[in-house]
Chains A and B, each alone.
Chain A
């Protein structure tokens, strides 16, 4: 059947290529059929993996969320919206979202600090690359290593207590990870320590891609450093700030790794993702956990959608 269809299809296909190319297809007739199959040969493995490990899990997850499945049973009993109703009506399930607020607030502090350091390092500075390297390096460290570094940092008599008593503030010591009033501040602080380097390097890169003549012109016009920041740097890095903002929201909603390793979610530090994972793999309520994951997925999609509408992407382009 393809005998008849192929010439017309390939005709459309090849008209899109340049004139020189069409001539080769006329002579090398055998290649025409190839070109219809060829893209799919190249795409077979990538598409199979994409569908198997992204779309099937998402689809299954939505399906599980309407069942009371325990993850083992042959039969999955459909329970309608019961799981969702349970999550929204039982405070213990949705309260954990409050913990995200600590991380969310922290990410603003993190962006502010990153912007500050990026700005001052974009001007002439001694030991510039040394400072840049030091501020960035924590971002590269293994998650478990960071978690252990801060277990040591916050433990009674640990680094933080020692530093505090060294500067004469020893009275402020508390159970940094054991006190439910403090633990989320401690953990949000670790998140800042870990991720600030990424923000900082992104901001610095964006600032440095601003043409140098702009500063020179501003200098001639008598602009001071603040004016330069306000009218040259700030507009120049708008896109990267909006992107960081979205990463901050998504990141604080799905905060997981560090609190999971450091406290295991104890003392009021349980995040929504920790709760989801525990519900699925410890309490074996896969249906309920799937409903939680679906809710998180929907929130993240909405947030991303808002960001894309508010700040449209200038067609995937990198300033490099």
Chain B
């Protein structure tokens, strides 16, 4: 009897937890499929009459210039993720495989930097970015996403420790240069770690709001976050359009999550526990 109750309690709590997670999103889906009058006359929990009414999605996507947001986000993500991988693997390669003077100091510099919360230094970082005349260019976001990512260096170092050093040495005997070893042996073997970094970095960039908001206020530089943010003013009274905008932003994340679940769980765990 008690066992029965425990099982019921367990599933009840899981269902309640799932409802709390889902209901706020599902009502947005409902709202996004309603017409203007339908939205005004029905409550948030009422499903839309026509499940195929995508008019709001078109309005949001076209008038909200969300295509531009997707393009800008993609450009920034591709460049900064590629940069992060090259920079991170190079730094990790040196820190794990070379012995040199001041190695401990360099290590300490990277280590201490992980403790500095980026949001606290934004006040001064802005002046540095401004000094390089990068404010209101893609460069601002790209260089900040690339330059402040110490986490990925950690992930690479950790993974590299599991690649046997004898591989490097064998290649060196065959006359391979350091650069050759990095490029032909280390980089390909780091594949799984690179996949992890691509996933967590990609998600982080797609979701980032403040850096593009602060450094790229120009209309044409809107990324996905800031283009949705701008819905607030013009569509303030048209929640069904804002709802469609929200769904457009969530959809790619959902599709990716469904396809890459296992990698995402692993990546997120690796990222948080560094």
Contacts and interface: CB of A to CB of B under 8 A. Distances in A.
Contacts of B203: 140
A53 B125 contact: yes
Contacts of A96: none
Contacts of B120: 61, 254, 273, 276, 293, 296-297, 300
Contact of A57 (B13, B128, B153): B128
A77 interface: no
Given A46-B153, A60-B128, A137 B254 contact: yes
Interface residues of B, number: 97
Contacts of B13: 116-117, 120
A137 B172 contact: no
B123 interface: yes
A142 B113 contact: no
Interface in A128-169: 129, 131, 133-145, 148-150, 152-153, 157-159, 162-163, 166
Contacts of A17: 99, 169
Nearest to A140: B253
Contacts of B28: 149, 152
B78 interface: no
A36 B98 CA distance: 9
Interface in B122-138: 122-128
Contact of A36 (B27, B100, B231, B232): B100
Contacts of A18: 165, 169
A36 B269 CA distance: 36
Interface string A286-305: 10011001001100110010
A289 B178 CA distance: 46
A149 B24 contact: yes
B-side interface mostly: helix
A141 B250 contact: yes
B5 to A, nearest CB: 13
Nearest to A120: B10
A266 interface: no
A102 B190 CA distance: 42
A39 B44 contact: no
A231 interface: no
Given A117-B14, A159-B45, A300-B117, A202 B273 contact: yes
Contacts of B128: 52-53, 56-57, 60
Which residue, B11, B27, B110, B146, has most C-beta atoms of chain A within 10 A? B27
A46 B229 CA distance: 33
Interface string B159-198: 0000001000100110101100010000000000000000
B121 A58 contact: yes
Contacts of B106: 43, 47
A50 B95 CA distance: 15
A301 B115 contact: yes
B18 A144 contact: no
B228 A13 contact: no
Interface in B52-97: 87-88, 90-91, 93-94
B249 A142 contact: yes
B100 to A, nearest CB: 4
Given A133-B261, A254-B120, A163 B45 contact: yes
16 contacts: A38-B94, A39-B98, A53-B125, A53-B128, A55-B109, A117-B13, A117-B14, A135-B18, A141-B250, A144-B226, A152-B28, A257-B209, A277-B122, A281-B126, A289-B123, A316-B274
Given A45-B90, A193-B21, 4 more contacts: A55-B113, A142-B209, A166-B45, A280-B126
User: Closest 10 CB pairs between A and B?
Assistant: A49-B147, A61-B124, A53-B147, A46-B91, A57-B124, A60-B124, A57-B125, A42-B94, A57-B121, A39-B100
Interface of B: 6, 10-11, 13-14, 17-18, 20-25, 27-28, 31, 43-45, 87-88, 90-91, 93-94, 98-100, 103, 106, 109-110, 113, 115-117, 119-128, 143-144, 146-148, 150, 153-154, 158, 165, 169, 172-173, 175, 177-178, 182, 203, 206-210, 214, 224-226, 228-229, 231-232, 239, 242-243, 245-246, 249-250, 253-254, 257, 261, 264-266, 268-270, 272-274
